[in-house]
Structure 1
Amino acid sequence: MEINLRSGIDKLLFGMQEEDVTLLYGKPSRTYKDEDKNTIYLYNDKKLRLTFYADEDFRLGYIIASGKDLKLFGQPVIGNKWEALTKVLLQNNVKDFEQENYDSVENFFNEANWAIFQVEYGEVIRVEVGATINSNDEFDWKF
């Protein structure tokens, strides 16, 4: 599954609603509401967590992924060394990361593409991508 920065992952596009996603991937393994009343879909087989924002008519706005088949710019992501992935990101003009450390995990956040790469022991273990905000201070929906 290819990460499409600013747009989504694989066939998932930011702005889709629940029914659009279930047409693509079927019924999720589990659903629940978070503390903000957003709807969360979990797809265990794809290792995806999808957030549909309550404040935005339940549009898909955030994706967390950790599947071994995840790619970015054609390169494997999960299990890849952060150092190697950083080179690919820089070659594709993705730069300027804010770094936060939590115990053994480091988060590398790129605000321009609203992407977080979680790294443990030098390897990427999880990716989070979100819908970006446009110049009108609104979500830049892709669907």
Structure 2
Amino acid sequence: MKINLKNGIDKLLFGMKPKDVLAIYGTPDKEYKDEDDNTIFAYNFLKMRLTFYIEEEFKLGYIVASSTELELFENKIIGIKILEAKKELSPKGIVKFTKEDFDTYENYFNEDNWFILQTEFEEVVKFEIGAIINDKDEFDWKFKS
């Protein structure tokens, strides 16, 4: 599954509504509301959790994924050492990360592309990506319905 920075993952584009995702991937294995009343779809076979923002008319705005099939610039990203991941991203101009520590986990956040590489024991275990916010402080939705 290809990660498309600033756009989404695989066939998913930021700005899709639940009906658009249902048409592609079918019924999620789990559907629930988070603490902000956003709608969450979880697909086991994709190893992805999708967040549809209530304040944005339930548009897809955030994806959390952990499939070993995820590829960023044609390189697998899950299961590799963080130093290797950063080395592979550097020639693509992705060099700036903000690191946060949580017990055995670390998050490496790249603000320019709005993604997080989550590691445990120095290995990438999760990839999170959000819709980009433009200069007008609005979401830059990629899906045009």
- Number of the residue aligned with 2:80: 80
Give the letter aligned to residue 78 of structure 1.
I
CA distance in 2, matches of 1:89, 1:55: 33
Give the letter aligned to residue 82 of structure 2.
W
CA distance in 1, matches of 2:5, 2:20: 20
* Cα shift at 1:111: 0.8
* Cα shift at 1:89: 1.1
Residue 63 (structure 2) pairs with residue 36 (structure 1): no
TM-score by length of 1: 0.98
Q: How does 1:63-102 map to 2 (within 5 A)?
A: 63-102=63-102
CA distance in 2, matches of 1:55, 1:5: 23
User: Structure 1: which 5+ runs fail to align?
Assistant: none
Deviations 1:40-89 (A, max 9, x none): 00001110000000000000000000011011000001101111110111
- Number of the residue aligned with 1:119: 119
* Runs of 4 or more consecutive aligned structure 1 residues displaced over 3 Å after TM superposition: none
User: Structure 2: which 5+ runs fail to align?
Assistant: none
Aligned residue-pair number = 143
Q: What's the % identity of the aligned pairs?
A: 54
Secondary structure at 1:112 match in 2: coil
CA distance in 1, matches of 2:100, 2:114: 15
CA distance in 2, matches of 1:80, 1:8: 21
Secondary structure at 2:88 match in 1: helix
CA distance in 2, matches of 1:104, 1:32: 28
Secondary structure at 1:91 match in 2: helix
CA distance in 1, matches of 2:37, 2:93: 36
- Number of the residue aligned with 1:21: 21
CA distance in 1, matches of 2:72, 2:142: 18
* Cα shift at 1:21: 0.4
Root-mean-square deviation over aligned CA pairs: 0.6
TM-score by length of 2: 0.97
CA distance in 2, matches of 1:30, 1:103: 28
Secondary structure at 1:15 match in 2: coil
